[in-house]
A and B are shown apart, each in its own frame.
Chain A
Amino acid sequence: MTAGRFVGQRVIRREDRRFTTGEGNYIDDIAVAGMLHAAFVRSDFARGIILSIDTTEAEASPGVIAVLTAADLNAMSGPMYSTLLGEAAAAPPMRALADGDVRYVGEPVAVVVARDRYLAEDAAELVFVDIEPQTPVIGPVFALDETDQIVHPERGTNLAQSFPVNDTPEVEAAFAGAAHVVSRQFTQSRATCVPMEGRGLIASWSPSSQTFEGWVSSQNSHEYHAHMARVLGVPHHHVRLRTGDIGGGFGQKVMVTRDEDCIVLASKALAMPIKWIEDRRENLIAANQARAEILDVSMALDEDANILACTVRHVEDVGAYAIGGHASASGNLANIFPGPYRIPLYGVGSRSAYTNTVGRGAYRGPWLSETTAREQMIDHIARELGIDPLELRRRNIITDEELPYTSATGMVYDNMALTGCLEQAIEMVDYEAFRSQQAAALQEGRYLGLGLSTYVEPGAISWGSLAAERAVLRIDPGGKVRLLLGSGEHGQSVGLTMSQLVAEYLGCGVDDVELIQGDTATTPFGGGTAGSRTSVIAGGATIGAAKVLRDKVASIAAHLLEAAPADIEVLDGRAFVAGSPAQGLSFAEIAHVAYRQTDQLAGGPEPDLEASHRYQPPNMFTFSNACHVCVCEVDIETGLVDLQRYIVSEDCGPLINPMVVEGQVSGGVVQGIGGVLYEHMAYDDAGNPLASTFLDYLLPGAAEMPIIEIGHCETLADTEGGFKGMSEGGTIGAPAAVANAVADALAPLGVLTGEFPMGPSQIIDLIEAAASASA
């Protein structure tokens, strides 16, 4: 493993002192003078006509300032498109508040603004919305193929986006001539991000200066900044947004949602600062969701079980008001589906459907159904052909000798440990020993299973407004170092890892560096922290800036020490002539000259201790890869799945901080496990969300999670530092590993899996279905 003085070291986080003692500063901890509080009135119907809205009683309720409806806010709003995708992106007809009709349960119909949140909620209950219900459009296949009801009449179709099937005659010929053809359907159930802190913001409009100031819980403050400037119809520099600490995001806080737009507009309408803090029920029924996808996969194989061709048909549910465009990640899904395997011929088609449910948005590994489906498919094929699933993977995985390898979709894989991670994970689990235990257990009537999942993760997508990042780095007059980035830390330890990079490449201590982020008035434009991009892109920018600043420090020191810049070393916050560390100058002494005694540099270097560097990775995707192994036991009487071991071997390049990487892997894996075994954002046929509390929407808990064992392989990417993104990988790999483990355990009973969730009741149903099929 690569390790420097700071890069590669398990440095702990300074900010944890604040967090563990209650000194965090999250959005609901921030207050501004005169701040009012908002509560939403939301639709209880999935689809219907608004006959009337009576706000009379609510307006007379104690402490109420105003009750705002579409008539008050919608006409004020500028365009609500995202900065990333732009105005031209296919998107639903956005609106702030429901106007004339409602299109999902939870759609905001009115905003009550009152002196405190209790009073706002009291009044919200007194707003009477008379809705004539209509038959809702629920389920993507129903929306596309089985109804003439239209979610958005303005669009005239429920098709949100699509790309047509692109099977070539060669694909069709490969299937026609194959020794084996296997086809299966895989359904991913709807799930959602569930940050422990929901959405929230304080919006403050100044009518005299026509400026807007906001504090927001966002992963991506610059995206929010530009969006809010458009919604308010003000120039970009009339907006300033700041974030405090952010209580999780996982994709939910990457783009502005209409609820947030409503608060921004309400602040302008009333010319008063307004805070809105989402409660858990709102977060579960009205914040963006994801994962509702169906994939039909077919694979053609030769007599030796080498994959010849693959086809994929993808259908997904993007809800009514998808976030930031159509919110589909199907482009990535289509490109990445072949994954780590040699699949020479490939065809794919995708359709996304508007339905009368809450809109789709980003969620950690938004395209991950490619891995979920592909890896389950490999196991299904293995069982059907009577081959061990590990052996089938070994036959088809791209070997090191084949790298660089261009996939059937034109993705170029290089500098990856595809076989390395597979073999390391197999060794960690002791595959042969497990198969013996499994056979012995089966003799005792116990059902053990092992599931494998391998994948490539297209991290640090460098495209559009996400293409590049800038780092601004300066030594301040006191000799300490301040870094400014367009990142949006919400648990990723960005401040720590970027400080480690500065310490390594500038030559100071980690504690000498402070990161400023989230303030759009002071930080450089950036794409925030999401999409496994910060270590690669912001990290590359930080290294570049640190190198430039190091040279500035060396030049000033060389002038003052009467030495050649090339002879200067910078280490531990001091610059000195190589070999004579005692005769050097501290950063404080250098800063003193640069800021207060610039005459000393007359005729020499600029009195400048600031560097700025913008970095764009060399490729649109920086691929990391991993292999997951899950070992479980299924109780066939109760349907309970006991996760006994969980192993991840992954290659994300050099680890800036192994503690942080392992934390990201573990958190990701547990979210992936949750989406299979526990979490299900179900809707009934009338479009009612069935999980509106943590008693219905079950997050993985501490009592059920396995110990996660993590191994690392290391190949260097072409990026600055060789880093690859990795924070989504845990979530990408885990669903298939868990599903395959359960399927492996139940294979002796003839159970066929493929649909999520796999909770106890679903597993019992599968076992009973298999029993009656064989009876």
Chain B
Amino acid sequence: MADVQMPPAVPVSVRVNGTARSGEVEARKTLADFLRDDCGLTGTHLACEHGACGACTVLVDGQAVRSCLLFAVQCQTREVVTVEGLTVDPETLTPVQQAFQDCHGLQCGFCTPGFVVSVTAFLADNPDPTEEEIRIGLSGNLCRCTGYQGIYAAVRQAAAELRGSK
């Protein structure tokens, strides 16, 4: 095995789901691959790797971002939350997760983590969205199974639930 010229590694230090993660990664390694391969957080899925489908959406400092378009080293000192980190208590679903289950907002489930993270961020910004705003809020994520019907319903239910709990 020719092992002489491995690409150089760069130190990185990130908080992921509340835990400090430090290590060395290649500068070219995406945040998505860092989360999946280095942190073992395989809930973040890759479905296009060019920023179009939203499956890899995570929160960086509270903002929904596509982890396939960021390098891990760009998240130095930042706070990353993945789908695994949304629940405070792993036994209890968040209102958004619960709404996806209740409303059949998923079938194969592959796009679901990206939707759950996106909708979580969307409802934090806009707790009482109109139908039109829901549609626009969802337009950065692609689902091939559901035809979006259960997802529209899930966002409505989660919005109502989150408003009610405040």
B7 at interface (Cβ–Cβ under 8 A)? yes
Cβ A21 vs Cβ B90 within 8 A: yes
- Tell whether, in the assembled complex, residue B104 and residue A194 are in contact, meaning their CB atoms are under 8 Å apart: no
- Number of residues from A at the complex interface, CB < 8 A: 65
Output the residue of B6, B109, B151 with the most chain A CB within 10 A: B109
B83 interface residue, CB < 8 Å from A? yes
A702 & B152 in contact (Cβ 8 Å cutoff): yes
A63-B6 CB under 8 A given contacts A16-B100, A667-B147? yes
B2 and A196 contacting across the interface, CB-CB below 8 Å: no
Contact in complex: A247, B152 (CB < 8 Å): no
CA distance A547 to B148 in the complex (A): 37
B145 within 8 A of A: yes
Question: Would you call A669 an interface residue if the criterion is a C-beta within 8 Å of the partner chain's C-beta atoms?
Answer: yes
Question: Is B126 on the interface with A (CB-CB < 8 A)?
Answer: no
Interface 1/0s, chain B 24-43, versus A by CB < 8 A? Answer: 00101100000011000111
Q: A62-B4, A701-B139, A702-B141 are in contact. Are A693 and B50 (CB under 8 A)?
A: yes
Q: Which of A24, A65, A701, A707 contacts B1 (CB 8 A)?
A: A65
Please state if B142 and A21 are interface contacts (CB–CB under 8 Å): no
CB-contact partner of B146 in A15, A18, A118, A667, under 8 A: A667
Residues of B within 8 A of A493 (CB): 107
Of chain B, the residue at the smallest CB distance from A193 is B144
Q: A280-B47, A695-B52 known; A705 and B147 CB under 8 Å? A: yes
Once the chains are docked, how many angstroms separate the CA of A65 from the CA of B147? 43
Assess the B146–A197 pair: CB atoms within 8 A.
no
Q: Are B90 and A705 in contact (CB under 8 A)?
A: no
Q: Give Cα A53 to B45, complex, Å.
A: 34
Cβ of A404 under 8 Å from chain B: no
Interface centre among B43, B86, B147 (most CB of A within 10 A): B147
Question: Is the pair A247, B109 in contact by a Cβ cutoff of 8 Å?
Answer: yes
User: Smallest CB–CB gap between A84 and chain B, Å?
Assistant: 23
* A20 contacts across to B, CB distance below 8 A: 83, 93, 96-98, 100-101, 106, 109, 112-113, 116
A492→B107 contact, CB < 8 A: yes
Task: Tell me, rounded to whole Å, the shortest Cβ–Cβ distance linking B94 to chain A.
Answer: 8
Any B CB within 8 A of the CB of A770: no
A contact residues vs B (CB 8 Å cutoff): 12-13, 15-26, 28-29, 59-65, 115-116, 118, 194-198, 245-250, 279-280, 490-493, 659-660, 662-663, 666-671, 693-695, 699-703, 705, 707-708, 730
Q: Which of B3-31 contact A (CB under 8 A)?
A: 3-7, 26, 28-29
Q: Are A702 and B148 in contact (CB under 8 A)?
A: yes
Chain B residues with Cβ below 8 Å from A730 are 147
CA distance A18 to B97 in the complex (A): 10
Among B41, B53, B110, B116, contact of A694 (Cβ-Cβ < 8 Å): B53
How far apart are A125's CB and chain B's nearest CB, in angstroms? 14
B48 close to A693 (CB less than 8 A) = yes
CB distance from A289 to the nearest CB of B (A): 15
A741 to B113, CA, bound (A): 35
- Whether B67 sits at the interface, judged by CB under 8 Å, is no
Whole-angstrom CA separation of A281 from B110 in the bound complex:
18
CB within 8 Å for A17 and B101 given contacts A493-B107, A705-B148: yes
The complex places the Cα of A601 from the Cα of B34 at a distance, in Å, of 58
Q: How many A-B residue pairs have CB under 8 A?
A: 200
Let me know if A13 and B42 touch, CB within 8 A.
Answer: no
Besides the contacts A197-B47, A663-B145, A666-B148, what 9 more A-B pairs have beta carbons closer than 8 Å? A29-B42, A65-B1, A196-B144, A196-B145, A670-B147, A671-B147, A693-B48, A705-B149, A730-B147
User: Is A21 a contact of B43 with CB atoms below 8 Å?
Assistant: yes
9 A-B residue pairs with Cβ-Cβ distance under 8 Å, sorted by A, are: A15-B109, A20-B116, A60-B2, A64-B1, A118-B7, A280-B48, A660-B104, A702-B135, A707-B152
Indicate if the CB atoms of B104 and A12 lie closer than 8 Å: yes
Residues of B within 8 A of A59 (CB): 2
Nearest to A114 among chain B residues (CB) is B1
Chain B residues positioned under 8 Å from A22 (CB to CB): 41-44, 82-84, 113
Instruction: Tell me whether A248 and B100 are in contact (CB under 8 A).
Output: no
A754 to chain B, nearest CB (A): 26
CB within 8 Å of A: which B40-83 residues: 41-50, 52-53, 55, 82-83
B145 near A667: Cβ-Cβ < 8 Å: yes
Mostly helix, strand, loop or mixed at chain A's interface? loop
CA A702 to CA B86, docked complex, whole Å: 23
Residues of B within 8 A of A (CB): 1-7, 26, 28-29, 36-37, 41-50, 52-53, 55, 82-84, 86-87, 90, 93, 96-98, 100-102, 104, 106-113, 116, 135-136, 138-139, 141-152
- Whether the pair B26, A118 counts as a contact (CB closer than 8 A) is yes
Q: How far is the CA of A181 from the CA of B97 in the complex (A)?
A: 57
Given A16-B100, A21-B43, A662-B149, A671-B52 contact (CB < 8 Å): no
Q: Report chain B residues within 8 Å CB of A492.
A: 107
How many angstroms from the CA of A705 to the CA of B49 in the assembled complex? 24
Contacts of A25 in B (CB 8 A): 42
Report chain A residues within 8 Å CB of B55. Answer: 196
With a CB–CB cut-off of 8 A, which chain A residues contact B152? 702, 707
Q: A707: shortest Cβ distance to chain B, in Å?
A: 7
Kindly list chain B residues whose C-beta atoms are within 8 Å of the C-beta of A65.
1
In the bound complex, do residue B47 and residue A663 qualify as a contact, i.e. CB atoms below 8 Å apart?
A: no
Nearest opposing residue in chain A for B149, CB measure? A666
Residue of chain A at shortest CB distance from B50: A693
Q: Are B147 and A703 in contact (CB-based, < 8 A)?
A: no
The answer to whether B143 touches A196 (Cβ under 8 A) is: yes
- Taking CB atoms, residues of chain A closer than 8 Å to B53 are 196, 280, 694
Cα-based distance from A18 to B113 in the complex (angstroms): 10
Considering the chains assembled together, what is the distance between the CA atoms of A60 and B111 in angstroms? Answer: 38
Bound together, the chains give a CA A59 to CA B116 distance in angstroms of 42
How distant is the Cα of A128 from the Cα of B50 in the complex, in angstroms?
26
Closest A residue by C-beta to B138: A702
- Bound-state Cα–Cα, A60 to B36, Å: 28
The answer to whether A21 touches B108 (Cβ under 8 A) is no
B147 in contact with A668 (CB, 8 Å):
yes
CB distance from A332 to the nearest CB of B (A): 24
Nearest residue, chain B, Cβ from A249: B108
| Contact B108 A247, beta carbon cutoff 8 Å | yes
CB–CB A670/B148 < 8 A:
yes
How distant is the Cα of A663 from the Cα of B150 in the complex, in angstroms?
A: 7
Do A28 and B100 touch (CB < 8 A)?
Answer: no
| Residues of chain B contacted by A18 (CB below 8 angstroms) | 109
